[in-house]
Every structure is written in structure tokens, then in C-alpha cells.
Structure 1
Amino acid sequence: MAASRQKPVPSIVWGLLLLALLWTGLYYSQMLDLTYAGVTVVSKGENRVVLRREDGSLQTVSAEEKELRSMTVGEKYIVTYGHNRLRRPFLMKVEPYPE
């Protein structure tokens, strides 16, 4: 009885898969839109904060616990947050608002 032999996957398929993974990784890590804005903290949640920009629009941004602890509702800050098609907006930097 002959053992069944599986056909090997062509190297072109592995090459395309590797190229797709590299492109996704590059896009995910490097292709970010950065927003630098003066904001007022409207509310804080477990892993998110709602910010009111100076133009009056609201933005919900993901944040780490240490950043959330340093922010107070109703206070003004200068923040930098990143976003792209693969990620929701996330807080990158928080600075006190210059008075």
C-alpha cells in the first residue's frame, strides 16, 4: 500500500505570505497619523479617556493606567495621540497645558 504524499506548498505562496506580513507590520508600526492638540478631559473610563479638543469636538482615546491616573477630569492638557486604520486612537504623550 503506497503512502499518500502531500504536495509541498510552492515557494511563491510563502513569499507572498511573508510580503503580506511585512507590509502589515510596517503599516501597523510606522504609518500612524499623529494628532497634537490642546484638550480638556471630559471623562475617564477603565482604559479610555474622552477628550474635548479646542474646536469643541470630542475624541475617545485609549490610555494606559499610569496616564489615566495622572489626568484629572476638567483639567487642560497638551496631548499627542496616534491612530490609523488598524488601531483605534491611543494616547502617546501627555503634558500640562501652558497657562
Structure 2
Amino acid sequence: MTSTVQSDPAESAVVGRLSRLDQFLPAWIGLAMVAGLLLGRLIPGLDSALDAVTIGGISLPVAIGTFGVASGQALAGVVGPLIEVPVLVGLVYVSLWARRRFFTPAPTATV
């Protein structure tokens, strides 16, 4: 007895609309993993070189590789911490100034 697999027309229509990259995404991920492992073995100082290009705890090559060169997410991921830290430090200075300016206790008389 032979069995035939019936394909769903809606499923084949969805697969037909996918780009080549999306159709073979698991293969691309596996290829990238193998390439990363091979590069790590063949180039001895690669890990320290990639660690040197870290901004605010975020690796620039990883952000660009994950989101793409022209991606707003990569830009926000790398530039975001560079903007957040100075803004937070500035807010601390403003709050310290406001505390001294508005919440200084009145001088008390000493006996």
C-alpha cells in the first residue's frame, strides 16, 4: 500500500513567497556556525580582536552581523548606550543640584 502526502495549497503558497534566504535559513545558520568555528581555529587572535571592538558592552561586529549594516537596530544597539550613560550621569548631577538648591535644611541656632 502506498501513501501519498497531500500538500496544503496554502502552505505551498507561503513557501513560494519566501525569498531564497528565508527558504534555506536553517542551512545558512548552520553554515555561519561552521564558518565561525573554522575562523576561530584558523585565526588565533580573532576573539581578542572582536572583543576590542566593543562599545558599551555590545560587540559592534555582532550587532552589525545580526541586524545588518544599514539597520536601525544595530545603530540603536551600539549608539544607545553611548547616549544613555551621559544622559543618566547628567540627570544625577541635576538631581544633586536640585537637592542642594531646594532641599537644603534651614540653619539651626546653636546654644
User: What interval of TM-score do these two structures reach, taking the shorter chain for normalisation?
Assistant: 0.3 to 0.5
Q: Point out which structure has higher relative CO (alpha carbons under 8 A, 6+ apart).
A: 1
Higher helix share: 2
TM-score w.r.t. the length of structure 1 is: 0.33
More strand by share: 1
TM-score (structure 2 length as normaliser):
0.30
Which one has the largest radius of gyration?
2
